[in-house]
Structure 1
Amino acid sequence: MNERNECEKTVYRVEGFSCANCAGKFERNVKELPGVQDAKVNFGASKINVVGHTTVEELEKAGAFEKLKIYPEMPKRQKVYRVEGFSCANCAGKFERNVKQLPGVQDAKVNFGASKISVFGETTIEELEKAGAFEGLKVTPDKPAKEVTKTTEKIPLYKKHQELIFSILLIALGYISSYINWETNVITILLFLSAIVIGGFSLFKVGIQNLIRLDFDMKTLMTVAIIGAAIIGELAEGAVVVILFAISEALERYSMDKARQSIRSLMDIAPKEALIRRHGQEMMVAVEDIAIGDIMIVKPGQKIAMDGTVVNGSSIVNQAAITGESVPVAKKVNDEVFAGTLNKEGLLEIRITKLVEDTTISKIIELVEEAQAERAPSQAFVDKFAKYYTPIIMVIAALVAIVPPLVFAGDWADWIYQGLSVLVVGCPCALVISTPISIVSAIGNAAKKGVLIKGGIYLEEMGNLKAIAFDKTGTITKGIPVVTNFELLNTEDNEEQILSFIAALEIRSGHPLASAIVKKAEDQQITYSNIKVVDYVSLTGKGVKGTINGVTYYIGSPILFEEFSLLDSEIMQHIVHLQNQGKTVMLFGNKQKLLAMVAVADEVRETSHNVLSALHELGVKKTVMLTGDNTATAEAIGRAVGISEVKAELMPEDKLRYIKMLRNDIGKVAMIGDGVNDAPALAASTVGIAMGGAGTDTALETADVALMADDLSKLPFTIKLSRKALRIIQTNITFSLGIKLLALLLVVPGWLTLWIAIFADIGATLLVSLNSMRLMGVKE
């Protein structure tokens, strides 16, 4: 892995990506090119990261589809701005295109989910706001999470929507006027016209501009429909369409803001100041002014403001805000703590290890916001579909208005009215909003429960997994060896004395198995530090020896004691029995006799069996454990947790090869590991899942999904959330198109009215938004 990182890494942009399967094939083809050590396609961002040396021509030849175009991504100066007023994904796309055309701007990328725009190049806020594709757009420089803490001043509802409320009042007066006079009069006309102009001013401003540019979107459709209704004398219905469209946009904005709030609320988890001890004095310091090495004092019941390491005290800390763990964790000296977690019991003194912008919670917020910019395949489909859908609706509306009067001698007024109704019902609001709200809601919900999903594409892929491969150490098991068996082979010996002798020898060894024995002695409060060991020698690959009280003792593998001819058939049988249980056996004694047998094992996580059972119940076809451990140990652990298949004694390259084979045979495959040793296999899988993302920068950076707590219990929840998100997105798209088709069929008998059209549109938008927001409430 280190060699790979030392190679040249180049990022290329790829034009022509439309199929996730083709993207996967392209990645595999590139990996086989001479000079390429590794490659990773980012389908959502239309990029490929190449580790090694190759050319653009070779990359294009490796393409798995026609019209593929590749060019190196040039490093650019980037500035990020927050955008207030984003409610329409289509408008966000237009805004992005407009910004790209500004002088001095080389590129721009809108993150609709996070309500941000990244600008590469030089421009001003005034120029950005002028480039806006809608009214009420406000651009401000993005600030680090530490500074985005001030709650925005709440604007009263009547002030926020005063034009809308005034327009509704005018419409009501218009209807009253028409009923009193029993016929249309100048006052009634003026009231309805005023409602149209006041309520639809911002709509008309953008719609007419788009019409002049022949840039057809939902605002163009609505502008033409409302102006047309006014021209043919349907002022009342035109005014109502204006109001209902404004209400529809307000609902979209509310739904999107609600979904975004699930991410922004993470910013309020950590305190904005902390009690710091400097030069012998304690003082309250703002988190942005706290430096690495400062000592932070956290009292019981207070939240921890910064990441750090405990230097004094012990306590129980609730880490649910970061890892999603429901059970608080004990913390003592040298343990790591995270900003935003709650100190429940003791006083803690913590040495700061990260600046506020580098804390785990800050990275989570940043990565989740970036994740929302990664478009899921379904979102890419909707965006592409909407691009052609709106002009087609314009053509259909024109045909509805013109063909019946010309060909079938229909009434011009009636069919123009029908054509205008088609424009209204064809508005793609519900379709365009269907996917982004779902993606943002699901990713935000997952983040709050300790699962970091780094893009809509990975959210969707999690629901389609056919196989999941697990690393053993630290994933299926705890990664910390413990003594499971301690047996005296001579009943006359003193157990405490024998264990103290073993601990006195093993404390001098750096082997992980040795630390397990020392820990057992300490847990039983057995004193070993006063035992004098001389002539200590490490016997490489076998064990250790040392002299205590004039006697030379050995502790090590059974192979060591075979040399002394001390292993009879009964002892060998017992050793094999323990090894078949997945345990490593060590013997203690001297050259004359065996004194004790110790078995050490890496304990299986309590949750592993239940998680594997849940995955099989969810329909995951195959679960595989990939490990470098010996076959007997691996198979024993595999049987204990109920895993489908075990592959043992593997090198990292063997794991990589097996993942590639699994993808070819089965399809969608996830690999779960620690994000470091398993990096090649993680990169080759459909979805790479890292264990213990909290506090592990590598896991946060390399994996597609990070389980922030160091256990697997969130995995079934993530798959269920992904599948529910997929179902909701598919339902939303089907419903949005279905309701429009149903309304359009009403054109045939001439029953479609502007009322029905706008209610179909606003109703679909409301139902789709509410359906998407259900993902914020999905529970484990």
Structure 2
Amino acid sequence: MLFPSRFKFPGAQQFETIAAFACAVLVLLGWLILQMNWIGLAVLVLCAAYVIGGYESAREGFTTLLEEKELDVDLLMIVAALGAAGLGLWRQEYFLIVDGGILILIFAISGALEGYAMRRTERSIRGLMQLTPDTARVLRGNGEVAVTIAQLQVGDRLLVKPGERIPTDALITDGHSTINQAAITGESIPVEKAIGDEVFAGTLNGNGALQLKVHQPPESSLIQRVIRLVEQAQTEKPPSQQFIERFERGYAKVIVIAGIVLALLPPFLWNWDWETTIYRALIFLVVASPCALMAAIMPTLLSGIANGARQGILFKNGSQLEQMGRLQAIAFDKTGTLTTGQPDVCQVIPAPGYAEREVLQVAAALEAYSEHPIGQAIYQYATRQMQVPPAQEIQASPGQGIWGLVNDQSVRVGRFDFVKPHLSQCPDLLRTQSQQCQQEGKTVVWVVQENLALGLIVIADRVRIDATQTIAQLKAIGVSPIIMLTGDNQETARTVAAAVGIDQVYAELLPEDKLDLIRQLQQKYGHVAMVGDGINDAPALAQASVGIAMGAAGSDVALETADVVLMADRLDKIATAVKLGRRSQAIVKQNIVFALGFIGLLLIANFTGNINLPLGVIGHEGSTVLVTLSGLRLLR
């Protein structure tokens, strides 16, 4: 009754979802028609449910049998369902065909969920690939030629205009600009790049035009390595998954062998007649089918997923809810995760004799004309508090600072090296405080007016309000150690870690470094979660036992790669997710014990002859319903 092999479906994964829905409708319709005593039509409808819902399981079961010489639960389900249908037709107990349809429906739903997970993986890889532009401007002679990234050669000269993404890893040969590479390296503030510096594919150019030289093949770029790492990490099966697959096949072998033995030996051992023997063997196949065992897990996890969704926690994979309950350690990215990911004014330090307001007004007057992220942060911070005076004769030195006239007085704002030649004197207090702030990983902007230092403006990536509370909550429920993995510098990382209570800090990491560290942490602690938001976190998110992404601030690739998404960027929901995972794990264990115990009781009743097929079906389906209702407790 299977579809012919030449039949082409629009997409195997989409077909699984459609098949599960169609099977559910047909099983329900067949049951209703059977209640009306239209036997022929009911059997026809239920056969259609068997064909549509059981196609994929039958294909996988027979493929495993023929190619790997192994039995699995898919094949066992088909045998049990067909056995129930055959016996139902033989004894004219047609409700048994409905029971077989329900068995098939359970597996069809499972296949649809697996198809969803596969589509999510494919989307995450496509998102990575779309990060880089399709073409690059290659300088040839006196003109520009647009070529695809795959056609780039080592030695090609490229032009990247302001606001464009870098097409491939390359070295700057002319120009200077600020490059926003937070998504790749995790650095919290756009980085100044000049001649000789390396830029990465997928990073965003600032306000300067750049000429680049390709120094390595495009396929060796950092973003391409990230893609390969994500692909590898997502295809690796965790030990728990391998154990489940082995258990399913072992369980199927035991049931099939036991069913054959029950169908052959009793007439010789206990003088049973063949009708009784076959009857008991088919009861065995029905009551031994692992429906209750499967219902012990999925309804619980789906209920937990629904519970989490109501609280702004999106679990993409039911197994990850269970993994959350097993966490022993957790690693955080810094930029955009523990911090806001945006440069902000955290302190204004006036020189003796001046006020904070004066320092801010003068600096903001010039920065109003700046396109630099730090300049914009200063301007926006000032305008929230005061009126900014106009400025004239504005000029900028990329990567250094800006100067002009404010109230007819010369003003310079920028790095210390930029303003130093124009300082007649510099208070020792400002020097000391500037050095202290830089040691903490903060950016210091000097404000000088008419050769006098007015003060300092300190820029930093702010720590999220709920970060400290979240770390404390995780430690309180036994998740330890708490680790930070960041591409930012050591000073900034240590400052943030000390502020929020992080136990271990690893800084200046590339994506592959984060991936390696997650693997090391898993070897040491077992189940390890990773929390991140950027492209550079994607491989580590994929490798971790549970990858957790920030929903509002996270990059598309981080959101697609992660197993759990915090929709409102509330870090405190991580502890909630862990508690939900632990509760789901406890309920799953209770359900498994109940399911196995009930199957055992039904088998004993069958062996002693104290149960008939209708009672076996009722017991089998009843235990499944009870286990399902138990799992629904997580909806509360």
TM (norm. structure 1) is 0.52
Q: Which residue number corresponds to residue 481 of structure 1? A: 343
Q: Which residue number corresponds to residue 404 of structure 2? A: 546
Q: Which residue number corresponds to residue 268 of structure 2? A: 406
- Superposed CA deviations along residues 533-566 of structure 1, whole A, max 9, x for unmatched, are 45x343744x443344554333334566666584
* Contact map agreement 2:528 2:544 (CA 8 A) in 1: yes
Q: Which deviates the most, 582-591 or 754-763? A: 582-591
Report the AA paired with residue 404 of structure 2: G
| 2:6 corresponds to which of 89, 103, 123 | 103
CA 1:540–1:419: 2 relative to 1, 3 Å:
closer
Report the AA paired with residue 82 of structure 2: T
User: Residues of 2 paired with 1:653 and 1:379: CA distance?
Assistant: 24
Q: Which residue number corresponds to residue 609 of structure 1? A: 468
| 1:626 corresponds to which of 485, 489, 494 | 485
* Contact map agreement 1:478 1:604 (CA 8 A) in 2: yes
* Contact map agreement 1:446 1:718 (CA 8 A) in 2: yes
Q: How far 1:522 moved relative to its partner?
A: 0.7
Greater helix share, 1 or 2? 2
* Contact map agreement 1:675 1:702 (CA 8 A) in 2: no
Report the AA paired with residue 360 of structure 2: L
User: Residues of 2 paired with 1:631 and 1:638: CA distance?
Assistant: 10
Q: How far 1:643 moved relative to its partner?
A: 1.5
- SS of the aligned residue for 1:621 comes to coil
RCO comparison, higher one (Cα < 8 Å, 6+): 2
| 2:381 corresponds to which of 512, 516, 520 | 520
Q: Which residue number corresponds to residue 764 of structure 1? A: 623
Q: How far 1:472 moved relative to its partner?
A: 1.6
Q: How far 1:106 moved relative to its partner?
A: 8.3
- SS of the aligned residue for 1:594 comes to strand
User: Residues of 2 paired with 1:623 and 1:401: CA distance?
Assistant: 57
* Contact map agreement 1:207 1:223 (CA 8 A) in 2: no
Report the AA paired with residue 531 of structure 1: A
* Contact map agreement 2:31 2:98 (CA 8 A) in 1: no
Q: How far 1:381 moved relative to its partner?
A: 6.6
- Superposed CA deviations along residues 446-482 of structure 1, whole A, max 9, x for unmatched, are 5565444444555554444443332222111112233
User: Residues of 1 paired with 2:294 and 2:253: CA distance?
Assistant: 15
* Contact map agreement 1:110 1:116 (CA 8 A) in 2: no
Q: Which residue number corresponds to residue 532 of structure 1? A: 392
CA 1:656–1:243: 2 relative to 1, 3 Å:
closer
- Superposed CA deviations along residues 491-542 of structure 1, whole A, max 9, x for unmatched, are 3x465444321111222333323222211221113232x23345x343744x
| 2:413 corresponds to which of 539, 555, 561 | 555
* Contact map agreement 2:530 2:546 (CA 8 A) in 1: yes
CA 1:395–1:677: 2 relative to 1, 3 Å:
closer
User: Residues of 2 paired with 1:606 and 1:494: CA distance?
Assistant: 28
* Contact map agreement 2:297 2:588 (CA 8 A) in 1: yes
- SS of the aligned residue for 1:597 comes to strand
User: Residues of 2 paired with 1:199 and 1:505: CA distance?
Assistant: 81
2:362 is aligned with 1:501: yes
* Contact map agreement 1:690 1:699 (CA 8 A) in 2: yes
Q: How far 1:225 moved relative to its partner?
A: 4.9
How many residue pairs align between the two structures? 496
User: Residues of 2 paired with 1:720 and 1:551: CA distance?
Assistant: 61
Q: 1:34-183 to 2 correspondence within 5 Å?
A: 98-99=2-3, 101-105=4-8, 109-110=12-13, 114-115=17-18, 137=26, 161-166=31-36
* Contact map agreement 2:510 2:536 (CA 8 A) in 1: no
- Superposed CA deviations along residues 195-231 of structure 1, whole A, max 9, x for unmatched, are 9x89777668999999xx9975222332455567x4x
User: Residues of 2 paired with 1:634 and 1:135: CA distance?
Assistant: 53
CA 1:743–1:379: 2 relative to 1, 3 Å:
farther
CA 1:113–1:739: 2 relative to 1, 3 Å:
farther
2:306 is aligned with 1:469: no
Q: Which residue number corresponds to residue 511 of structure 1? A: 372
* Contact map agreement 2:518 2:540 (CA 8 A) in 1: yes
User: Residues of 2 paired with 1:382 and 1:166: CA distance?
Assistant: 42
- Superposed CA deviations along residues 582-638 of structure 1, whole A, max 9, x for unmatched, are 643333234754322323332211121222223333433332223344433322221
Report the AA paired with residue 35 of structure 2: I
Q: Which residue number corresponds to residue 499 of structure 2? A: 640
Q: How far 1:437 moved relative to its partner?
A: 4.2
User: Residues of 1 paired with 2:86 and 2:30: CA distance?
Assistant: 26
2:584 is aligned with 1:751: no
CA 1:410–1:698: 2 relative to 1, 3 Å:
closer
* Contact map agreement 2:350 2:356 (CA 8 A) in 1: yes
Q: How far 1:113 moved relative to its partner?
A: 7.9
CA 1:412–1:647: 2 relative to 1, 3 Å:
closer
Q: 1:581-730 to 2 correspondence within 5 Å?
A: 583-590=442-449, 592-652=451-511, 654-692=513-551, 697-730=556-589
Q: 1:317-328 to 2 correspondence within 5 Å?
A: none
Structure 2 stretches of 5 or more lacking a match?
Answer: 66-74, 118-235
- Superposed CA deviations along residues 322-359 of structure 1, whole A, max 9, x for unmatched, are xxxxxxxxxxxxxxxxxxxxxxxxxxxxxxxxxxxxxx
Identity of aligned residues (%): 34
Q: Which residue number corresponds to residue 363 of structure 1? A: none
* Contact map agreement 1:221 1:394 (CA 8 A) in 2: no
Q: How far 1:662 moved relative to its partner?
A: 3.3
* Contact map agreement 1:631 1:649 (CA 8 A) in 2: yes
CA 1:581–1:381: 2 relative to 1, 3 Å:
closer
Report the AA paired with residue 497 of structure 2: G
CA 1:669–1:107: 2 relative to 1, 3 Å:
farther
* Contact map agreement 1:545 1:554 (CA 8 A) in 2: yes
Q: Which deviates the most, 199-208 or 554-563? A: 199-208
Report the AA paired with residue 505 of structure 1: L
* Contact map agreement 1:382 1:432 (CA 8 A) in 2: no
- SS of the aligned residue for 1:610 comes to helix
* Contact map agreement 1:468 1:623 (CA 8 A) in 2: yes
User: Residues of 1 paired with 2:260 and 2:283: CA distance?
Assistant: 11
- Superposed CA deviations along residues 67-104 of structure 1, whole A, max 9, x for unmatched, are xxxxxxxxxxxxxxxxxxxxxxxxxxxx9xx44x4315
User: Residues of 2 paired with 1:485 and 1:390: CA distance?
Assistant: 67
- SS of the aligned residue for 1:601 comes to strand
CA 1:667–1:254: 2 relative to 1, 3 Å:
closer
Report the AA paired with residue 220 of structure 1: L
Report the AA paired with residue 406 of structure 1: F
CA 1:221–1:736: 2 relative to 1, 3 Å:
farther
User: Residues of 2 paired with 1:383 and 1:202: CA distance?
Assistant: 32
CA 1:598–1:763: 2 relative to 1, 3 Å:
same
CA 1:743–1:667: 2 relative to 1, 3 Å:
same
* Contact map agreement 2:50 2:104 (CA 8 A) in 1: no
Q: Which residue number corresponds to residue 267 of structure 1? A: none
Report the AA paired with residue 217 of structure 1: V
User: Residues of 1 paired with 2:514 and 2:253: CA distance?
Assistant: 50
Q: How far 1:438 moved relative to its partner?
A: 4.7
Q: How far 1:111 moved relative to its partner?
A: 6.0
User: Residues of 2 paired with 1:423 and 1:656: CA distance?
Assistant: 46
Structure 1 stretches of 5 or more lacking a match?
Answer: 1-94, 118-128, 139-156, 168-193, 264-373
- Superposed CA deviations along residues 142-191 of structure 1, whole A, max 9, x for unmatched, are xxxxxxxxxxxxxxx9x885344346xxxxxxxxxxxxxxxxxxxxxxxx
